[in-house]
Amino acid sequence: MNNIELKAKQIEEEFSIFDDWMDRYNILIDKARNLEPLDPKYKTPQYLINGCQSQLWLFCENKDGRLFCMADGDAIITKGMAAIVLELVNGEPLQDILNYNFEVFDKIGLHSHLSPTRSNGLRSLIKQVKLYAEAYLLKNISNDKQR
């Protein structure tokens, strides 16, 4: 079990404490409020996640083969979903991120409690994180070949 899977288990346990979805939404809201603010220079169309009902910006960078992301949004639930994605991927190896299927959102029941547009936004966010990981991995491989 890799570190992302361990983090996912912790998130599952955190959400399993509550049966009521209002309590679970409060976990999302708390995660959103604790999300580190995104530098305004990244709140541009270039970093905007397409397919989201609300505005959600994502910036990721590669540090020594590990992905570090920051996000911000104008809707608290969307921002909470982003906080969970970042909790899972930040500091993790690029290949581990590409291999992970983000099933934690199904396991905590979030997908079934989201509107179709929010579900699309979550899928778009995950897709964009994986695109960052893939691009950085390919760049690392290319740089290694050039050495």
Q: DSSP class of residue 48?
A: B
Catalytic residues: 52
Q: Which of 108, 83, 89 is nearest to 3 (CA)?
A: 89
Taking Cα atoms as reference points, which of 102, 139, 141, 140 lies closest to residue 119? 102
141 vs 132: CA distance, rounded Å = 14
Q: Which amino acid makes up residue 5? A: E
